[in-house]
Amino acid sequence: GAVVSQHPSWVICKSGTSVKIECRSLDFQATTMFWYRQFPKQSLMLMATSNEGSKATYEQGVEKDKFLINHASLTLSTLTVTSAHPEDSSFYICSAVSGEKKYNEQFFGPGTRLTVL
């Protein structure tokens, strides 16, 4: 149990286009989902916290108008990178927390590798 999927697993796009990444909890309801970004040889940096039915909470330095997050249901959150630029190329990983778990363990998706040309 506790499987999280991401789609697509990798994407290559042209500069200026928008890319949508989906994060799904397959066998549990996720009250909270998190979006991370990881540059090569660096750690995961939390971008935003997404709660179902409410606005996402963004970390300092993350542009909310550039990284649009929608958590429309208890099993789906989407991250849209708008007007992508080469510096947005990174590994984007989501995680989901099951409200049923006492200790709120985070289950990670397999990640999406974005390359902006």
Partner 1 sequence: RKEVEQDPGPFNVPEGATVAFNCTYSNSASQSFFWYRQDCRKEPKLLMSVYSSGNEDGRFTAQLNRASQYISLLIRDSKLSDSATYLCAGLSGGYNKLIFGAGTRLAVHP
Residues that bind partner 1 (CB under 8 A): 32, 34, 41-46, 49, 51, 57, 91, 93, 95, 97, 103-106, 108-111, 113
Nearer to partner 1 among residue 79 and residue 97 (C-beta): 97
- CA–chain centroid gap for 18, Å, is 15
SS3 88: helix
Nearer to partner 1 among residue 7 and residue 82 (C-beta): 7
Minimum distance, C-beta of residue 44 to partner 1, in the bound complex (Å) = 5
E-only strand ranges, the chain: 4-7, 10-13, 19-25, 30-38, 45-51, 57-58, 67-73, 76-81, 90-98, 106-108, 112-116
Nearer to partner 1 among residue 18 and residue 42 (C-beta): 42
Minimum distance, C-beta of residue 59 to partner 1, in the bound complex (Å) = 8
